[in-house]
Chain A
């Protein structure tokens, strides 16, 4: 009796989420399957084939970004989790803080840094060195992704590493493991859930970004799927094709996270963040 009463509290939430997440996705499907006049058509879906290279390119860039984030983020998370509680709190805050600041302006600061006439190149020139081609390269786009989404990697890694039971490490050491073995046989396998959620949390925003590639990329080889969706909705007046592409993007993301979850087993709800 009591339990069912409490369970009723979830009803408004369920209604809200159905109306504002499931129904809108239904509307997206509706747009994807109709033309500008509202008549049913397969044309948008058939046209998607042309966008496969762009989709593939987006996946490659964001996987690269996620991988680099992992390489850079793991040592940081490991380091933080082995500090005193006070230092942990402080470092954690330092990692969090950039996430709260306008990512548009921070990306714009990177434009200022990387431009041909930018801060880094001016510095090189004043030292008598040759200017480098930094901006409008694939590297710049990946850098932008790594920069913006690195905290999303560090935070879940940190909370996973914190949870590793120290007795396991001691046990491994007692049984004769070298530090490298302790890491590869105990610590690393136990951080897999953090790695997977970190990779997902970097991959999803990176694969759908449009701002980073517009600012740091070029029109030749860094056009991403997000750019095209944004253009279709905001300039090209083709929400139907845009909706079809959004569906593809969504399917891609759900397949990827599905794979991640399968590998990671059942992660506890709420592990992803915090």
Chain B
């Protein structure tokens, strides 16, 4: 029995630490794939310390968790003292109030707070940005408070009430009695409450994910968006360092406590001084850390008046300076030093729309696709552009003006155009099966098929396959499409967007449908991948265009940014890295000739003969499509 327990404990510890070991090993890997160790390097650590953005996010996380746990500890300790002196009935009531955030699932807490902040901030007070640093701080304090209270209360109950009385009989004021006696007695509870609050706050993802706007982002929330695309190995390096740091801190605290315990055995009097010492040291360490981080934050976020430009773009949709490409945002910030770009990404048009319509955030530039531009125009969610600030618009090809989605060229400037096709792995997929969209319904490739994780693109494929108009508003046809998608569901590995890159490159999946530009990138990374245009059935051709939403606060800077991206040199370099097609012919002079001649990026008229664009559908049809998509891909059988 005893041996069995020991063995189980050992096995459980191994189980708990295996994934950590995987991540730590990955931080020394020369390759980017977590499953393949290609060689040892310390390069990821160097990259980590060069990455101001990642370190800034870590700083944000520490700032929030130190502030929130600090405030919650002081506030919660006082409250606990108060609750302890309430009459029992009232105390019980308050304690059940305290239990609500403890018991409630994080997702519900996050959603309820974000709805409250947006409701009060946007609907009632009419603020443009209601999800900020401060609301995130409030959320963290709120879920930290119960940890403090639940740790302090038992200590207060254990405490001999006559101790306070004795102190006051000896001439202490109630305040003095609190600091000299009560606080001293409950200190272990306060400390463990503070530590618990801090760690919960530091690693919180779910609540922050729902409460975060786009102006202040913590590390876990950013990691979630990394997870949607290939994770940069420097993130593993960061993980390893944090692991070591927390390990050392915890071990040190345990040692200090152990020593204090030993001393306690020796003399009763020494206990108190030792306990206080531990606490004082802890306070000193925390305060020092807070100070360093606070100063760091102030340095990173200087008080000087810089214009902050919020750019909200698709994931993997701007050249970021990897492998000898240019870093477009850095170039822009160099050209306009008074502008600070805050860049965040979305996975698809629908997610972007949801975030915008949910309110509470400030966004200055977005890059939706054609049909979404039309929808945003129709719903009055875009501002008219001042083209005198966008002289580079002159470079935009005639073919991309007076489009169906923005017939008067008032609201949008094209960024890229492209097509949708099938990407497959020639190692596993029989060429004879590659005949059209039905490949994605082929039972032979069960669990190896990836499908679009957004309603419009997924419905489009069903529509091409079934021979319907992609802009049909006939509910019967849409239901038929939904049934087709439902039929496909058992074979689909996942409904995803940018995660497709990793899954196709490491051969976890064999067949996917995605944007041709991204497929080019994947094919560069895995030579076994091939691309296919279902020419006869037809496929989607799209234009993604830069727009300024009504929640914009820096319109002029936004127009400068749009103008910058239309610069032929910038556009050329950007498209070189992205693999998408440029609407600016002049940019081709600055591009890799191979890219310009690629059939994939610039398909011939012949290939494009059946290509069609998505148009804006009436609101109720859009909603029907969305509901049918949810039903077909996720919910009910």
Contacts and interface: CB of A to CB of B under 8 A. Distances in A.
Interface of A: 2-14, 16-18, 20-25, 27-28, 30-31, 50-51, 53-54, 72-73, 75-76, 78-80, 85-86, 89-91, 93-110, 112-113, 115-119, 122, 136, 147, 150-151, 179, 200, 204-205, 207-208, 210-211, 215, 218-220, 223, 226-239, 242-243, 246, 249-250, 253-254, 257, 268-274
Contacts of A9: 78-79, 81-82, 85
A14 B86 CA distance: 12
B94 to A, nearest CB: 6
A28 B108 contact: yes
Contacts of A50: 631, 635-636
A102 B9 contact: no
B97 A22 contact: yes
A119 B22 contact: yes
Contacts of A23: 116
B574 interface: no
B354 A233 contact: yes
21 contacts: A2-B174, A13-B79, A16-B145, A21-B104, A24-B109, A27-B116, A90-B254, A93-B250, A93-B254, A94-B13, A100-B203, A104-B205, A105-B23, A105-B231, A113-B18, A117-B35, A147-B16, A219-B494, A235-B354, A237-B357, A269-B150
B12 A109 contact: no
B258 A86 contact: yes
B84 to A, nearest CB: 8
Contact of A101 (B15, B103, B203): B203
Given A12-B75, A85-B261, A253 B105 contact: yes
Contacts of B633: 219
B180 to A, nearest CB: 15
Given A108-B231, A227-B634, A249-B105, A27 B115 contact: yes
Interface SS of chain A: helix, strand, loop or mixed? Answer: helix
Interface stretch (B241-249, B314-322, B436-444, B463-471): B241-249
Report which residue of B16, B36, B196, B635 has the largest number of chain A beta carbons within 10 angstroms of its beta carbon.
Answer: B16
Contacts of A94: 13, 16
Given A147-B19, A274-B154, A257 B107 contact: no
Nearest to B249: A100
Interface residues of B, number: 118
Report which residue of A116, A205, A207, A254 has the largest number of chain B beta carbons within 10 angstroms of its beta carbon.
Answer: A116
Interface string B12-30: 1101111110110010000
A106 B108 contact: no
Given A104-B220, A268-B154, A3 B17 contact: no
Given A27-B116, A249-B108, A76 B75 contact: no
A31 B115 contact: yes
Contacts of B104: 21, 250, 253
A107 B206 CA distance: 14
B115 A237 contact: no
A239 B79 contact: no
Given A104-B220, A219-B634, A117 B5 contact: no
Nearest to A183: B1
B296 interface: no
A22 B220 CA distance: 27
A14 B75 CA distance: 11
Contacts of B196: 273
B459 interface: no
Interface string B215-254: 0000110011001000100011001001100110011001
Given A233-B210, A273-B150, A20 B113 contact: yes
B100 interface: yes
B48 interface: no
B350 interface: yes
B614 interface: no
Nearest to A14: B94
B187 interface: no
Given A10-B79, A100-B246, A219-B489, A115 B150 contact: no
Contacts of B258: 85-86, 89
Interface string B394-435: 000000000000000000000000000000000000000000
Given A101-B203, A226-B107, A270-B154, A7 B82 contact: yes
A220 B634 CA distance: 7
B82 A11 contact: yes
A115 B119 CA distance: 42
Given A102-B203, A102-B220, A112-B34, A5 B495 contact: no
A235 B116 contact: no
B97 A17 contact: yes
Interface in B29-78: 34-36, 75-76, 78
B495 A208 contact: no
7 smallest CB-CB distances across A and B, nearest first, come from A10-B82, A9-B82, A13-B79, A208-B105, A24-B112, A109-B19, A270-B154
